[in-house]
Amino acid sequence: MRRQDRTTHEILFFARYLNKVFDCRASSSALTDSRLDPDISPAAVFLAVFHGFAFRLPSFQQLEAELAQPALQQWIGADRAFSDDALRYSLSGFQLEGLEQMLVQVNRTLKRNKALDTGRVQGRIVAALDGIEVLSSYSRCCDSCLQRRVSMRKAGVKVEQVQYYHRAVACQIISSPTNPFLAIEWLQPGEGEDTAALRLLEKLPDLYGSRFFDVLLLDALYAQAPVLKLAERNGWDLVISLKQNQRELYQSAIRLFASRPADDCGSEKNEGKDYQFQLWDSEGLPFSADHPQPVRVVRSEEKLTQNHYRQRKLQPETTEHEWLWITTLDAQAFPAKLVRRLGHDRWKQENNGWNDLTQNWALKHGFLHACRHRPKTGSREGERKPVANRGLAAVSLILLLAFTLCSAFIHCHSKIFRRYSMSTIEVARQLRSSVSKLPPKIRAPDAPAAPLPA
């Protein structure tokens, strides 16, 4: 079979693309952890977990079973099979800086190779930022856990119980088909999601430069003066949902729009949904009394018609919705219809980012949460204590790397994906099955010993 006639993806060409374009082998060889003189190198651990996510394996136990294959051991550079305990012991003490830098280099390469140019909106690259709860537990906790009290019933009696959970915010490019994640930030005990989001936004210019993307989409929670100041300093335009948390601006906009007819109207059909909308657009409204920066507010009244099954019959149903957005985009280049589209595009991070990672990449599996099997290091008192548990953060970064690189391979390199109708899960299945087809490692027989001189 000729190369151009292949209809399945092979691990050999996947790895060749990653190494040629992103130099993944060299980058992974520089990764370190807290173990001393380990038998299984940090690079082998990283490659094992990376390929586990690329194959869409849901747990370390299943990855341990896959590592019994000599072909996969050879592929990741391990001399032997190793258990999930070795993975846990290494990853719980993994150095996060190397993984973060690797993710930054991958995204910089994508932009340099113009992979982010597809899908630009008026020539702008669009990013979105939002948070997600990764895991929760009533019994297992760690030093970084957040806590809340949850009402529940036990034996018919309503009681409150402490629940431990982890939450993170991340920034993702949503205008490109590859949808790469730029960075992730974890909430610390005692702080809110907006604090972690602001910390992440302050880090992005140092990691990528201030103009890596142009437009940032945000939820109403982040409609705060520090976010507007940071965006203005870095040259980012904003589209933020407006709700009652900014009460003065919200009520001023509602009163202003109620006194005049709609400025524009239109219709749209998207994935079986029929939208009929009216738009109001006004500039120069002060954001708040403490921060009177003039902003533009766009309001959309929408009628959404979609089919639902009712009594086993498919019937159209119409619901009404109202949306308001704050934006700093210029009205000439971005009319109200385009601002409305961007406002709804924020859900792409929910659908193509967090939901995809949750349903198909085992994001909420809770890898290494409260893991006690960790390397030990010496303290000032002379005692050896376990290192701080970085396992959940390390696995999450490897997951984002696998998500970004697999997406780049599928959308930027794979002709098979473009030619044939298949899902990304099918691509992962093909890559996994191709490991067993790798040729065995062949070693030349030992040369015969040279005869002794007479």
Which tens digit of pLDDT belongs to each residue from 45-68? 999 999 999 999 999 999 999 999
Angstrom distances, CA of residue 240 to CA of 176, 196, 289, 369, 430: 20, 17, 18, 33, 40
Which tens digit of pLDDT belongs to each residue from 331-354? 999 999 999 999 999 888 888 889
Q: What is the mean pLDDT of the chain?
A: 90
Rounded CA separation 8/361 (Å): 21
Which tens digit of pLDDT belongs to each residue from 85-130? 999 999 999 999 999 999 999 999 999 999 999 999 999 999 999 9
pLDDT of res. 440: 63
Which tens digit of pLDDT belongs to each residue from 373-389? 788 876 666 677 888 88
pLDDT of res. 437: 78
When pLDDT is cut at 50, 70 and 90, the band that residue 371 belongs to is confident
pLDDT of res. 2: 47
Rounded CA separation 129/217 (Å): 7
**What pairs with residue 432 in β-bridges?**
none
Q: What is the mean pLDDT of residues 12-25?
A: 93
Residue identified by tokens 């992730």 is 184
Q: Can you point out the beta strands (E) in 176-235? A: 181-186, 215-218
Number of neighbouring beta carbons within 10 Å of residue 15: 17
Q: What is the mean pLDDT of residues 2-30?
A: 84
Number of neighbouring beta carbons within 10 Å of residue 313: 8
Distance from the first to the final alpha carbon of the chain: 56
Which tens digit of pLDDT belongs to each residue from 227-269? 999 999 999 999 999 998 888 999 999 999 998 999 999 998 8
Q: Which of 264, 216, 258 is nearest to 241 (CA)?
A: 216
Q: What is the mean pLDDT of residues 282-300?
A: 92
Contact between 102 and 401 (Cβ < 8 Å) = yes
Q: Which of 214, 223, 301, 210 is nearest to 263 (CA)?
A: 301
When pLDDT is cut at 50, 70 and 90, the band that residue 18 belongs to is very high
- Indicate if the pLDDT at residue 186 is higher than 90: yes
Task: Read off the pTM.
Answer: 0.90
- Indicate if the pLDDT at residue 445 is higher than 60: no
H or E segment to which residue 135 belongs: strand 126-137
Q: What is the mean pLDDT of residues 284-307?
A: 91
Contact between 149 and 162 (Cβ < 8 Å) = yes
When pLDDT is cut at 50, 70 and 90, the band that residue 4 belongs to is very low
pLDDT of res. 379: 65
pLDDT of res. 25: 87
Angstrom distances, CA of residue 348 to CA of 31, 173, 176, 394: 32, 10, 11, 25
Q: What is the DSSP letter of 5?
A: G
Contact between 150 and 143 (Cβ < 8 Å) = no
What percentage of the chain exceeds 70 in pLDDT?
94
Q: What is the mean pLDDT of residues 126-152?
A: 91
pLDDT of res. 1: 40
When pLDDT is cut at 50, 70 and 90, the band that residue 5 belongs to is very low
Residue identified by tokens 């704050």 is 326
Task: Show the CA angle centred on residue 208, arms to residues 293 and 368, nearest 5°.
Answer: 105
Angstrom distances, CA of residue 428 to CA of 70, 72, 140, 221, 222: 20, 15, 32, 36, 36
When pLDDT is cut at 50, 70 and 90, the band that residue 396 belongs to is very high
Angstrom distances, CA of residue 392 to CA of 187, 347, 389, 437: 13, 26, 8, 33
Name the more confident of 370 and 450.
370
169 contacts: CB under 8 Å, gap ≥ 6: 129, 130, 131, 132, 184, 185, 187, 193, 196, 197, 200
pLDDT of res. 394: 95
Q: Can you point out the beta strands (E) in 155-233? A: 157-173, 181-186, 215-218
Rounded CA separation 154/436 (Å): 50
pLDDT of res. 441: 61
Q: What is the mean pLDDT of residues 411-422?
A: 90
Task: Show the CA angle centred on residue 161, arms to residues 135 and 141, nearest 5°.
Answer: 40
pLDDT of res. 350: 83
Rounded CA separation 99/91 (Å): 11
Number of neighbouring beta carbons within 10 Å of residue 435: 18
Q: What is the mean pLDDT of residues 282-297?
A: 91
Which tens digit of pLDDT belongs to each residue from 64-92? 999 998 889 988 989 899 998 999 999 99
When pLDDT is cut at 50, 70 and 90, the band that residue 451 belongs to is low
Handedness of CA 201, 400, 80, 29 (dihedral sign): negative
- Indicate if the pLDDT at residue 429 is higher than 70: yes
Rounded CA separation 446/206 (Å): 54
- Indicate if the pLDDT at residue 406 is higher than 90: yes
Q: Can you point out the beta strands (E) in 227-363? A: 237-241, 264-270, 273-286, 294-310, 313-327
- Indicate if the pLDDT at residue 3 is higher than 50: no
Number of neighbouring beta carbons within 10 Å of residue 365: 16
Q: Which residues of 139-164 are buried (b: 16+ CB within 10 A; e: fewer)?
A: eebbebbbeeeeeeeeeeeeeeeebb
